[in-house]
Amino acid sequence: MKNLKQEKLRLMRRRAVLINGGWCGVGLRSESSISLTRREMLRVIELIDNPPPRSKKFQEAQARYVRLKISADEHWLHEPAMKEKLDRARNYMLNNPARETNFEDLFRENGID
């Protein structure tokens, strides 16, 4: 989340230019532009760096949005049981790093010549 904020801030700083004593910021998703005073631009940057605390109602709405955003095809991945299985698999991978397979030992153990 913080990386996204930093990226937006970087884009805003890069695309903001001083025009006739006022700052002009180019929109991140479109090529429309808005004119801001220096004070307004600094306030926008401050809000990106330090957003105000979110209310409980906002957090609930955000959670509903995330649930709706997940497509029906991928919904099963976000169920608690599947998350637990994926976490176990991830932990196994972290604790047991991949190593080169010795085919001679593998064939010998399985009786393959």
Percent of the chain with pLDDT over 90: 16
Which pLDDT score, from 0 to 100, does residue 21 have? 46
Per domain, the residue ranges of the chain are 2-49, 58-113
Q: Which DSSP helix (H) or strand (E) runs through 6?
A: helix 2-15
Distance between CA atoms of 44 and 15, rounded to whole angstroms? Answer: 14
Which pLDDT score, from 0 to 100, does residue 64 have? 84
Which pLDDT score, from 0 to 100, does residue 74 have? 81
pLDDT tens for each residue of 47-88: 888 888 889 999 999 888 877 777 767 878 888 999 999 999
Q: Which band of pLDDT confidence, cut at 50, 70 and 90, is reported for residue 20?
A: very low
- Per-residue pLDDT, averaged over 5-34, amounts to 56
CB 11 within 8 A of CB 25: no
Distance between CA atoms of 46 and 43, rounded to whole angstroms? Answer: 5
Distance between CA atoms of 72 and 40, rounded to whole angstroms? Answer: 42
CB 44 within 8 A of CB 25: yes
